């Protein structure tokens, strides 16, 4: 079948690439692999299953639950819960595994399945390979009392809300915030948390109908949030994606505050509070050079990884660091979560606002972003992006041209069939010129 796991689980067009049959097989294979790896400790295994609100999640949830139960796993259905909520509840409910059904920021027709190990951690690559290798294999099916049982556990949502509320270093009375919930998994949790912390909350795009998730809203479409913040005179706005594992912000003027700026603010806040382990933060190679320079100015070490929050988390675990994130808005606060958590990020950013009395624009000025241009090139053989000699030669020429004033990053997307070209330079015009040139080279040299 080939490799089907990407950087964030299995993802594709629901009912075409990601079918009910595949969902059943993945669930069964995951149960077998984790069981044989000793994850179930020779006890009757339990799993939690959550999803975002997209329509296809309903049949995929049913398929995953059926697969797990048929393999002898007892299942707690959590319903619509953010991905970080599923991770938290996997640990909180002492489940042996967790499953999240979501395509995150992807359009509604897509969906995805990601598996979590005990403790709410994403599976290692080697376990995912084993799951792929076990798909559609013959197996001895349990019968009678050995089949898994299925129940609902909506009380878990309240436990997750309480966890987020108690993580905040302070109450938020006096703050007015706008939350764009992307008609996604945070539509209930996000407003609830901020209201319980005492903030004045204006929630937009918080009415999911199964079809409108990420539809011109959320962290990939900030226009409505920018307008709402200005119209309501809010202190800040926070936008989540479909599964709410990421957060982007908008300051009081309507200007966007991206993941690098958010991570800068939170890293400095943690350092000031004496809570930043080894004065180190983990980021990816996509982080803006301005972020790296800002951290250097604050005597904070930056460790950079491959793109993907799983790689940030791996580096954090390897070094026992407690702060990391991505420019896209995945921020991992290891003291409170095992994965990126958009609502958690927003809460702590709002708490920093409240604590300092500063505006968000003032806090975001901790770093100066270099002009950055990102061009996505679809319809090409992305597997050759790192090896094609003509393309790599052009990348080297562009990098030499920019020198210390910028950089070039070209990489395969881990979740979509395209190549990403990212260029930073002293001016937006130069970055755009170099990026467009390289995008043209990609299109020509990697043509299918």
Catalytic (active-site) positions: 104
Question: 34-68 burial, b for 16+ CB within 10 Å, e for fewer?
Answer: bbeeebbeeeebbbbbbbbbbbbbebbbbbbbbbb
How far, CA to CA in Å, does 66 sit from each of 22, 70, 73, 182, 214?
12, 6, 10, 29, 28
Question: 381-397 burial, b for 16+ CB within 10 Å, e for fewer?
Answer: ebeebeebeebeebbee
Distance CA 6, CA 220 (A): 20
How far, CA to CA in Å, does 102 sit from each of 53, 56, 58, 242, 325?
8, 9, 11, 8, 20
Which two three-digit tokens encode residue 151?
A: 């129940």
3-state class (DSSP) for residue 199: coil
Name every residue whose Cβ is closer than 8 Å to that of residue 2 and which is 6 or more positions away in sequence.
none
Distance of CA 433 to the CA centre of its chain: 30
Which two three-digit tokens encode residue 330?
A: 């995945």
> What's the farthest any 2 CA atoms get from each other in the chain?
69
Going by C-alpha positions, the residue among 284, 272, 257, 225 that lies closest to residue 349 is 257
Helices 125-133 and 20-36 meet at what angle, rounded to 10? 120
Distance CA 322, CA 338 (A): 10
Distance CA 285, CA 290 (A): 12
For the chain, give me the number of helices (H) and strands (E)? 14, 20
Beta strand ranges found along 265-315 (DSSP E)? 280-284, 301-305
Helices (H), 16-55: 20-36
Helices (H), 144-209: 155-167, 189-196
């Amino acid at each position: 079948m080939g490799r089907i796991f990407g950087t964030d689980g299995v993802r594709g067009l629901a009912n075409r690439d990601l079918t009910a049959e595949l969902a059943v097989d993945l669930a069964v294979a995951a149960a077998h692999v984790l069981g044989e790896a000793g994850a179930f400790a020779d006890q009757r295994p339990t799993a939690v299953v959550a999803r975002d609100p997209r329509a296809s999640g309903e049949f995929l949830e049913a398929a995953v639950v059926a697969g797990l139960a048929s393999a002898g796993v007892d299942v707690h259905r959590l319903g619509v819960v953010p991905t970080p909520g599923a991770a938290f509840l996997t640990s909180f409910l002492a489940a042996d595994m967790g499953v999240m059904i979501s395509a995150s920021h992807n359009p509604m027709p897509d969906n995805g399945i990601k598996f979590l190990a005990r403790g709410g951690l994403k599976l290692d690559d080697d376990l995912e390979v084993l799951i792929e290798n076990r798909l559609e294999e013959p197996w001895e099916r349990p019968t009678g009392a050995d089949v898994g049982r299925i129940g609902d556990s909506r009380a878990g949502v309240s436990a997750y809300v309480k966890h987020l509320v108690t993580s905040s270093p302070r109450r938020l009375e006096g703050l007015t915030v706008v939350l764009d919930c992307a008609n996604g998994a945070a539509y209930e949790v996000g407003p609830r948390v901020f209201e319980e912390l005492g903030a004045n909350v204006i929630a937009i795009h918080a009415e999911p109908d199964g079809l409108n998730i990420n539809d011109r809203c959320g962290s990939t479409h900030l226009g409505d949030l920018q307008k709402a913040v200005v119209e309501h005179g809010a202190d800040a706005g926070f936008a989540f994606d479909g599964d709410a594992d990421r957060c982007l912000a908008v300051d009081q003027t309507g200007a966007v505050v991206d993941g690098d700026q958010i991570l800068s603010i939170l890293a400095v806040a943690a350092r000031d509070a004496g809570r930043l382990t080894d004065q180190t933060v983990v980021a990816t190679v996509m982080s803006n050079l301005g972020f790296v320079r800002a951290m250097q100015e604050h005597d904070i070490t930056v460790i950079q990884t491959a793109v993907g929050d799983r790689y940030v988390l791996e580096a954090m675990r390897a070094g026992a660091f407690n702060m990391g994130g991505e420019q896209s808005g995945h921020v991992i606060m290891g003291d409170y979560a095992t994965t990126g958590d958009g609502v958690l990020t927003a809460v702590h950013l709002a708490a920093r606002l409240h604590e300092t009395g500063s505006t968000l624009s003032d806090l975001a000025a901790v770093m100066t972003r270099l002009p950055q241009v990102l061009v996505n090139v679809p319809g090409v053989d992305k597997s050759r992006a790192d090896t094609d000699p003509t393309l790599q030669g052009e990348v080297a020429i562009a990098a030499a041209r920019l020198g210390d004033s910028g950089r070039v990053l070209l990489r395969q997307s881990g979740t979509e069939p395209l190549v990403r070209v990212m260029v930073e330079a002293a001016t937006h015009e130069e970055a755009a010129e170099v990026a467009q040139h390289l995008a043209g080279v990609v299109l020509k040299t990697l043509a299918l």
